[in-house]
Chain A
């Protein structure tokens, strides 16, 4: 395949960015998009130019490191996959592919396609856990968990923290990310104990980081590579209402 690229280049956090044009020929449809960027970087290095910086690691869709806007959509034109799982067979021969970093105020650009997503870590630090020290847990089977609840908790826990939800949202809202953690833990008896503190803490941190509010457009669910459902946002809102109206402490 012969392809054209328009890729965001930015030398540093404070530098102005720009779209640069690149061309590649002889790309195999079985290559992934990241492998194609590898080839492009090899070409740049051969010409003595600086390689394009992009975040990536596992290249199998589970670590959540990669993430870029491809032709105007997070993780590209397919649904249910991350950028590293996108193969060139999804593009037409001769296509021009636009690649940009996440555009979210709470995720500032570090360089080229690399952004700082540490805001997500701080949200989790604000309550996305069960307070149980190593060595203090009760026997695992002493608390049975309804199978359907465990499965639904898993659906939420499958979030990989890539940031596509906030990146696609017109409000740059991180509701789906926050809801995934709140919902995962509130569905399990082990997590219920701290449900009030968790939803208050994480929602407050989400606001403090500068993420926008949720207006239920559903773009996050549509673009989530792990199919995390908006049902979890509804559950988080219910938890938040309970924590606000019915809980005294």
Chain B
């Protein structure tokens, strides 16, 4: 496959302006005749659906939750980056661009990342105008804080619930368009296949999750905003409903998936309490601004943390990375935590935990100040663990969090299928091999509010005379038949093992062998085990209930079946990349002091995987990355 990222000509800082001045426009009367499907109603999906509705397109928006306000963007805690330079500390668009490229370990596309930084400025304006209650200074202006991996204060926040407030902003914009009749909102729907007509994305088959009915929906373009697939790891910080199914159906229809093994393992999560743990809760890494991370120096030191004197504590991040200390980027912090725990210094009942201690910050700033910054996070920790972080240090451990990988898109955010777009976390575009803190909300907003309304318009200019796309056609028949057969097949296996058990086994394989540290040997065995697990699934799964009612077990079974296939692709990707970069750390490729060893000579590309049919190995295509505006450097946080 010939990959064309369609990066516009011109100097980096002018590409987006030049692009916008050249694209085709559609007059308002014609926009009404163009239909767009948006799958997903998180920050990216809701903002895209709302913005396209505002422009006058006829939009249908789908989500699997009971309301678009539930989408998992709601759970993002820390904040959103923007190069406003309100703190007068030397920030600008180039610096945010540079930090994002560097944070991503030079595995993302310059032009996309620059556009992300450039548009960050307008996003804050947009959200404030919607009524997002960002934190403010006493003078009434917006407040900022710093976040992992950077040296300026550019993160805007709404206590520890920034994602919730931004999502509710986009939800309100979406609701306004629903009221106006520009957007039809279809909640409790799951996309189960993509429909292509003459090679173009023209619709979806969705299941109404409340009634079990299969539905056909057509459009002139389909936008996927279906989020990340970190739930493949079973235990993750994601909502339990997060899944890869829509993206996976698109992959099977010809959309390529890029760098699927780039999964961010978040360093600050509450450790698992036991075997029935269903998810891991993230503690915002903004906590690392004031909390100090340490483990006991002595092996097997079981004293309560308060009894361990200063001299017997190892503040290992401050020791290893003096200039960034506790604010070292996520991948570096996560691996460091794994390292000290593997060496036997871990704390808590499982030994898989490190302390995040606020003692010094509480003494310095007082309880009230700390409570105003992190009050709700401290409460959340107390609720879950029964321990009060004002009194004893938190215990944290890394967990699967964000997937940088996803559907490959060009500069327009179009996948390799014409008319199929991917925005927000479900695409691979901006974060390279590791996402910078507070950049996920940014990407979702930028893609939805400011990129897709332009790029999609350019594509749809060809469709103003197409007329409505019929759904009583062979392509829709074939897709619906396939969906129905698979549902019947899942219900008909009649085995003895629940879908959740398969999911748990799958998660164990990925976490152990394709998690924070990977090796060729581990990945090869993971692929073998995944194939066996997949076979076992289709022989022994038991799905209770029926297809014609609300049936959460059937939903879960379908998603787990897709994860089982995706997981193999994830391992292929990790196996192919014989270097360490960002979140991808290969045991075989490290420096003498255990830091990641990147190989720009051979791996300065995006791995773009193409489906070759069920049972066939996927084909690797390469998008070679050009860096004309930054110098490739060893990512050092020492």
Contacts and interface: CB of A to CB of B under 8 A. Distances in A.
Do A and B truly interact?
yes
Interface of A: 11-12, 28, 30-32, 34-36, 38-39, 41-42, 44-46, 48-51, 53-65, 80-81, 85, 87, 89, 110-111, 114, 116-118, 120-121, 124-126, 128-141, 143-147, 150-151, 153-154, 157-158, 160-161, 184-185, 188, 190-191
Interface of B: 47, 50-51, 54, 65-72, 74-75, 84, 86, 122, 124-131, 133-142, 158-159, 161, 164-165, 168, 171-173, 175-176, 178-179, 185, 187, 210, 239-241, 273-274, 276-279, 281-282, 379-380, 383-384, 386, 449-450, 453, 496, 498, 500-501, 542, 544-545, 549-553
Given A60-B75, A85-B383, A124-B171, A147 B276 contact: no
Contact of B544 (A49, A64, A150): A49
A147 B140 contact: yes
Contacts of B131: 130, 153, 157, 184-185, 188, 190-191
Contact of B240 (A56, A111, A130, A134): A56
A161 B67 contact: yes
A63 B140 contact: no
Contact of B172 (A28, A31, A118, A130): A130
Given A133-B54, A137-B122, A140-B125, A87 B240 contact: no
Contact of A141 (B86, B278, B545): B86
A62 B74 CA distance: 7
Contacts of B500: 38, 42
A54 to B, nearest CB: 8
Chain A binding site: helix, strand, loop or mixed by DSSP? loop
Contacts of A48: 542, 544
A118 B274 contact: no
Given A111-B550, A117-B66, A63 B72 contact: yes
B278 A46 contact: no
A45 B380 contact: no
A155 B15 CA distance: 41
Contacts of A63: 65, 70-72, 74-75, 239
Nearest to B349: A30
A144 B134 CA distance: 12
Given A57-B70, A57-B239, A124-B175, A118 B383 contact: no
A107 B421 CA distance: 35
Contacts of B171: 124
A128 B172 contact: yes
Contact of A130 (B69, B86, B130, B386): B130
Nearest to B542: A45
Contact of A116 (B66, B175, B545, B549): B66
A87 B136 contact: no
Nearest to A141: B141
A114 B187 CA distance: 14
A170 B449 CA distance: 42
B279 A59 contact: yes
A89 B66 contact: no
Contacts of B135: 150
B71 to A, nearest CB: 8
Given A41-B553, A144-B136, 10 more contacts: A50-B544, A59-B239, A62-B164, A63-B74, A64-B74, A114-B550, A134-B126, A134-B453, A145-B136, A150-B133
Contacts of A151: 133
Contacts of B122: 135, 137
Contacts of A126: 179
Given A57-B70, A110-B210, A146 B279 contact: no
A139 B128 CA distance: 9
Contacts of A80: 379
A141 B67 contact: no
B544 A45 contact: yes
Given A38-B500, A117-B66, A133-B54, A139 B544 contact: no
A121 B453 CA distance: 24
Contacts of B173: 129, 132, 134
